Structure 1
Amino acid sequence: MAVSTSSAARLCRLAGRTVTSLTARHRRGVSLPESICYISTSTGSNLQFKLDERTAHSSLDLFKKDTGVIYRMLGLDPSHVQDNPERFRDWAVVFGDEKISSGRHYWEVTVKKSQQFRVGVAEALMSREDCVGTNSSSWVFGYAQRKWFAMTSNKMVPVTLVGKPDRVGILVDYEAGLVGLVDTEKPRIIHSIRVQFKTPICPAFGLWDGDMLTHSGLEEPEGLK
């Protein structure tokens, strides 16, 4: 059963909004351009991407050639971060620098050093005032309070997963409308979100403690459906 909208919103407020997001500067509305320039559009099966610093909230630092992200509680003073409409202002979110408009794609994320995060995909033009999972433009799997959940449109569905793996996979099939959370050891799809994609999407990440490391350019494991 899905968690109520009010409960989901409360958890997102507690888990997602950073200390620096409460300033008047951060509440300022930002309009995205009609077209965001990403490095390329991937249509093959071996999607390869880095994290896009232009989208990263000021509490997030990228490392390991922009494939990893670490959370800083206080972060940078927003006035010291380059001002652009692609950057998330209120939430600790960062996008991958590739957008997907077709095909089947797979990547993995090392999550062993975080206890509070979200991984999945979002529309490339998603509002930078929202958090991934809180609107109809993003589809993510999250971990918080020692529990997994699938989240979109501010509704959370519990995901049955024993323990917390060091690394998880994300499988996306654009035409089939599938976003799957993958057990990398089996491998198998643990839980899937069904959606009808209408615009290009990007790998999307939210992080509120520790760090994460992305692994792209991978072959899809055999046996996933």
Structure 2
Amino acid sequence: MLDALTHTTSPSPGSVPIGPQHGAAGSSNSSAGNTQPPARQQTAHGQHGQPQEGQNYISFKLDEKTAHSSLDLIRKDTGVIYRMIGIDPTKIPQNLERFREWAVVLGDTPVSAGRHYWEVTVKRSQEFRIGAADADMSRDECIGVNTRSWVFAYSHKKWHAMLANKTIPIVNIGHPAKVGLLLDYEAGKLSLVDAEKHSLIHTIAAKFLGPVVPAFGLWDGELLTHSGLVVPEYL
């Protein structure tokens, strides 16, 4: 279920279909012109490699057990490449956790409290989805097509927020090489962040009712994830 959402800027009229149409809850666009000074990006560890006290952060890898057969995990399971042919499904371990119909993979670390931030570098992809999902969502559905996943989708050179069979256009973002995601569990918010301009772009409001994990859908190119980051000061 979704909370009502307040728009801070007016979205462009209409919406462009992105794969199966499902998904939308309330969401809000934020101006890319954030006037606050950019904060230096930090990892969640201090100079001596110890977590800094009182900070929320998520450190995860992609869970191979959930990856569709068209997706190859790379860089020690922190990135994913889409293969047009893919792996023969009969040659990969079959289990109930694997997505069977859609090119989706989930992160391996669930979140059930706190504020958490991670980033995604996009390479040579014209169609992908990034966000979060219930850890036990159906493996027969794509992320963004139900009320158990919350995603930002890029397709046909346009961005949309997706949830519950609806899409909401996101304007004034372009195609940044790296974007961030901020998940605030208690507040029920997932935000898309321009990691290069240090500005919040758009927020989806939702009620998280159980553990959620980072979620990724990819239909060409590759995505690299960057976790273990503290929430930037400007957020």
Structure-1-length-normalised TM-score: 0.81
The structure whose RCO (Cα within 8 Å, separation 6+) is larger is 2
Gaps of 5+ in 1: 15-42
Q: Which runs of 4+ in 1 moved over 2 A?
A: 1-4
Superposed counterparts of 1:87-98, under 5 Å: 87-98=98-109
Q: Deviations over 1:136-191 (max 9, x none)?
A: 00000010000000001121100013420000000000000010000112312100
1:61 and 1:221 mapped to 2: Cα distance? 30
Deviation at 1:113, TM superposition (A): 2.3
SS of residue paired to 1:99: coil
Q: Secondary structure at the match of 1:84?
A: coil
The aligned length equals 192
Partner of 2:19: 12
- Higher helix share goes to which structure? 1
RMSD, aligned α-carbons: 1.8
Residues 3/60 of structure 1: CA separation in 2 closer, same or farther (3 Å cut): farther
Counterpart of 2:134? Answer: 123
Tell me what 2:37 maps to.
none
Amino acid at match of 2:19: C
Q: Please give the per-residue CA displacement for 1:121-144, whole angstroms capped at 9, x wherever unaligned.
A: 000010000000000000000100
State whether structure 2 residue 82 is matched by structure 1 residue 71: yes
- Give the match's secondary structure for 2:90: helix
Alignment partner, residue 56 of structure 1 = 67
Map 1:150-165; keep pairs closer than 5 Å.
Answer: 150-165=161-176
Question: How far has the Cα of 1:115 moved from its partner?
Answer: 1.1
User: More deviation in 215-224 or 55-64?
Assistant: 215-224
Aligned to 1:133: 144
**Distance between the aligned counterparts of 2:82 and 2:172, measured in 1?**
25
Alpha-carbon separation, structure 2, partners of 1:198 and 1:44? 23
Match for 1:72: what amino acid? R
The residue that corresponds to 2:223 in the other structure is 212
Question: Contact 1:62 / 1:68 at 8 angstroms: preserved in 2?
Answer: yes
Greater Cα radius of gyration, structure 1 or 2: 2
Q: What is the letter of the counterpart of residue 201 of structure 2?
A: I
